[in-house]
Amino acid sequence: MSATNQMTAPRPADEFVRDLLRVPAQERAALILGRLREELAGLVNVRPEALQAASPIPRIRLADGSLTVHPQALQVLQTALHRSLRVQIYLQELNALATLGQLVAYLAPEFEAPPATGGAPEIRPWPHPWSGSVGGPPVSNVALILSSPRSGSTLLRAMLHGHPRLFAPPELNLMAFETMGQRAHWFSERGCGWLAKGLVTALAAAHRMPEAAARDQIRQWETTDTPVIDVYRSLVAGCGPALLVDKSPLYATHDGCILSALAHFENVRLIHLVRHPHAVIESLVRMRFARVYAQGWPGWSPSPWRYADNVWWQANENIRTLLEQAPPGSQCTVRFEDLLARPAEVAADVCRHLGVDYHPGVLTPYDGNRLASTGASAGPTLGDPNFLQHGRIESERATEWRTIRLPFPMTTHTRELAARFGYDPV
Ligand code: A3P
């Protein structure tokens, strides 16, 4: 008989997480270890007693001599953590942890109840506003998808990239900076160089050049501190006559990026993509953005739930208020749930807004080369790391947010803003 068969069914993960959030910090690690051992024992068919805090996380040696977590162990641990705690763990994190006990100690602080809310977080001024003194005349033929992270932006981008008149590469993360030197410095200071990967893919595709040549070109732009607006100019020239669609959730974090767009792009088309905060908060917590991507970023909180609420509110409030300053007709709002439920109709509306005829290629986001990141290169994946696991537009997920039970109520300001986008009160 397998170890799983001998055990009573474990508490559902949502209830277990609620328990964790209630117990004192010193009890939490033991609870997590116990639950994780049970899940792992079932998956690898051993008795839970065989797995101890000191049990090593198996590794293999790569061709270059470095050690990495064994692919099977990675898969088993990811499954066990998803089943027990509803969270994702990443290879780069596991590579830094030697034993089960270390893994548990690493994760336990994330299950602290959030502090009482002190009202809406402030939207900080962007530390790199464009002075406007560099870069020459405005650029035309650019559209922006503005959204909080986890709002379905990778899917919308891949859909639009299927249109022959649209060029929608992985996130460029350009407009947040005035110059390429500033951009490179900001990424390296925060250890998030992976945010620069999308520009490499985009430049290579726009100019039909090898990625190595694109990387060289970007390095040269960084060394000469080329204005970012000139990089847009190069991309637009390369992908012309297609419209360049830049989806970069980074632009919604502060107030400066959207204003830069309004000042430096001519006739820019703006798409505000919103998703129900229940779904975004659940997704941000499950993907562990607070820990993996965002320490020191606006709205950051050690509580993943509070951070996720902050992110949704900040991004959407920021976009909403700044778009009030955009010319009428330059913007449209797309609800992700509508896109999932009625993809043809919503995609047709988006095409109209972008000034292109409808094309059926927008309904087959998994066909052909949509410049999807495979995650094969080092560091975190750009865009939704699970995008390729879907294979089709999953319309049935349009109402999923209704079934999500967050362990904490959303803040009042988030609830109120959601109502402005027509979402039912929850
Ligand atoms: P979940 O984490 O709730 O699953 P973004 O690209 O802005 O980061 O958004 C990611 C969200 O879009 C994820 O939500 C992901 O599942 C969802 N998504 C991506 N591709 C999808 C598809 N083909 N059908 C339905 N949802 C999809």
67-76, 139-148, 190-199, 349-358: least confidently modelled range: 190-199
One-letter amino acid for residue 251 of the chain: Y
**SS3 label, residue 116:** coil
* pLDDT-above-90 percentage for the chain: 70
Torsion angle of C-alpha atoms 386, 388, 391, 394, degrees rounded to 10: 30
Predicted confidence band of residue 2 (pLDDT cuts 50, 70, 90): very low
How much of the chain, in percent, has pLDDT values that exceed 70? Answer: 92
Ligand 1 mutation target, pool 248, 387, 389, 402, most atoms within 8 A of CB? 387
What pLDDT score was predicted for residue 5?
46
Give 368's pLDDT tier (boundaries 50, 70, 90).
confident
Decide whether any atom of ligand 1 lies within 6 Å of the 202 Cβ.
Answer: no
Over residues 302-315, mean pLDDT: 92
* Both tokens assigned to 89: 């763990």
Phi, psi of 17, rounded to the nearest 5 degrees: -65, -40
Atom 25 (ligand 1): residue with closest C-alpha?
A: 394
Q: What is the DSSP string of 8-19?
A: PPPPPHHHHHHH
Greater confidence, 11 or 243? 243
Q: Which helix (H) or strand (E) holds 304?
A: helix 304-323
**What is this structure's pTM?**
0.91
Distance 149 CA to ligand 1 centre (A): 10
Confidence of residue 379 (pLDDT cuts 50, 70, 90): low
Instruction: Identify which of 282, 390, 400 to mutate to test ligand 1's pocket (most ligand atoms within 8 A of the CB).
Output: 390
Task: Over range 333-361, report the average pLDDT.
Answer: 98
| pLDDT tens for each residue of 91-120 | 999 999 999 999 999 999 999 988 777 677
Instruction: Give one DSSP letter per residue of 223-275, joined into a string.
Output: HTT-BHHHHHHHHHHHHTTSEEEEE-GGGGSSSHHHHHHHHHEES-EEEEEE-
Question: What is the rounded CA–CA span in Å between residue 264 and residue 397?
Answer: 37
Q: Is 171 in the pocket of ligand 1 (CB under 6 A)?
A: no
Nearest residue to 346 via CA among 133, 99, 156: 156
Residue with tokens 């993960």: 13
Give the up-direction half-sphere exposure of residue 413: CA atoms within 13 A in the CB hemisphere. 17
Q: What is the pLDDT of residue 136?
A: 77
- Choose among 335, 396, 390: nearest CA to 365: 390
**Which pLDDT value is given to residue 132?**
65
Please give the pLDDT value at position 386.
81
Q: What is the pLDDT of residues 294-304, one digit of tens each?
A: 776 777 888 89
pLDDT score of 4: 45
The closest residue, in CA terms, to atom 2 on ligand 1 is: 283
pLDDT-derived band at 1 (thresholds 50, 70, 90) equals very low
Task: Please tell me the distance between residue 394's alpha carbon and the centre of ligand 1 in angstroms.
Answer: 9
Question: What is the spatial distance between Cα 382 and Cα 373, in angstroms, rounded to a whole number?
Answer: 6
pLDDT at 408 over 50: yes
Residue 384 near ligand 1, beta carbon < 6 Å:
yes
Mean pLDDT throughout 391-396?
A: 95
Q: By alpha-carbon position, which residue is closest to atom 15 of ligand 1?
A: 152
| CA 341 to ligand 1 centroid distance, Å | 13
Say how far apart CA 36 and CA 83 lie, in whole Å.
9
Q: How far, in Å, from the CA of 155 to the mean position of ligand 1?
A: 7
Separation of alpha carbons 195 and 303, rounded Å: 24
The answer, yes or no, to whether any atom of ligand 1 lies below 6 A from the CB of 283, is yes
Q: How far is the CA of 169 from the centre of ligand 1 (A)?
A: 17
Mean predicted confidence (pLDDT) in 26-39: 95
CA of 147 to the centre of ligand 1 (A): 13
3 state SS of 426: coil
Taking residues 252-261, what's their average pLDDT?
78
179 lines ligand 1 (CB under 6 A): no
Residue 95: how many other CB atoms lie within 10 Å: 15
